[in-house]
Amino acid sequence: MLFNPVRVRQLALGAVLLASATSAASAQHATHPVATARRHGTEPSATHGMLLVGTEQVYASHLPMFHRPHDYQVWLELELDSAGRAAFRRSHAEFPQEAVYTLEPEKFVLPAMLAHPRPFRASLYRGHFERGGKAIAENVVVRIRKVLYCQQLDPNKVVAGPPAYLLLGNAQEQFLAHRIGARPDYDQVLRVTVPPGPLMSQLATQRILEWQAAAGTSAPLQVPAAVPGQTTPALRVEQNIYLEFNDLQ
């Protein structure tokens, strides 16, 4: 099978499992970015900007780079406070063509936050907070509901074969994210439609899966397009939400 929910769940829970003595058996097979970071010394506190997608359930992608302390690809389920949710929904209604929303959080140590999630405060922007975005809510209280995926990036990694992807979402909304590999690379997030069937059923249960496009598929993915998986039904790419090259050179 082309999607491996068990492996993705292990990667996603790596930071949490590191702090949990009750999950030792699962931790033996998980990737632990927190442990890797600690072997190289304590990560500094920093502003870890995030891309936001989703309406009813808000998902966040940490905006990654290949240098510390931003060298982590992370996907989270978030909960915004009532003022943040209202501003987010109001902006979506008023600016339906705007795809990019970002968070500028207070400074924190990313691996520590993933290992022991706590509420943090952030400013919410329509657009990129470092590239002319407009703040639509400030001092928003943000809670991490679930760490879906976390992988520390290795700039010297060698990646062979076609690009790999992360498929995440729920029955209402589905998103596809390029799984970042070797340097240089790119960060791409798309809104997609998953057809009814086993893949959609697994996604509804697991919330994030690995997904592999068929050989010969152009990368980055184009919009609109029906993108076939190697053995799974084609995904319909509806919208390119985010595509970044410069931060991953």
Instruction: Choose one of 99, 120, 152: the last residue of a domain.
Output: 152
Domain containing 226 equals: 164-248
**What sign does the CA torsion over 91, 55, 34, 184 have?**
negative
For residue 1, what pLDDT is reported?
Answer: 37
Instruction: Choose one of 92, 122, 152: the last residue of a domain.
Output: 152
226 shares its domain with 103: no
* 179 occurs within a structural domain: yes
How many domains does the structure of the chain reveal?
A: 2
For residue 20, what pLDDT is reported?
Answer: 31
23 shares its domain with 81: yes
For residue 41, what pLDDT is reported?
Answer: 53
HEC profile of 88-151: HHHHHHHCCCCCCEEEEECCECHHHHHHCCCCEEEEEEEECCCCCCEEEEEEEEEEEEEEEEEE
CA distances from 85 to 82, 231, 236 (A): 5, 38, 28
215: CB partners within 8 A, 6+ apart: 162, 230
* 157 occurs within a structural domain: no
Could you list the beta-strand ranges (E) of the chain.
50-53, 58-62, 72-80, 101-105, 120-126, 134-152, 164-169, 174-178, 187-193, 208-212, 225-227, 235-244
For residue 56, what pLDDT is reported?
Answer: 86
Instruction: Choose one of 129, 152, 175: the last residue of a domain.
Output: 152
169 shares its domain with 121: no
23 shares its domain with 145: yes
Show pLDDT as tens, one digit a residue, over the chain (249 residues): 344 443 444 344 443 333 332 222 222 223 444 544 544 457 899 999 999 999 989 999 999 999 999 999 999 999 999 999 999 999 999 999 999 999 999 999 999 999 999 999 999 999 999 999 999 999 999 999 999 999 999 988 887 777 899 999 999 999 999 999 989 999 999 999 999 999 999 999 999 999 998 888 888 999 999 999 888 789 999 999 999 999 999
82 shares its domain with 122: yes
* 137 occurs within a structural domain: yes
pTM, entire model: 0.85
For residue 5, what pLDDT is reported?
Answer: 40
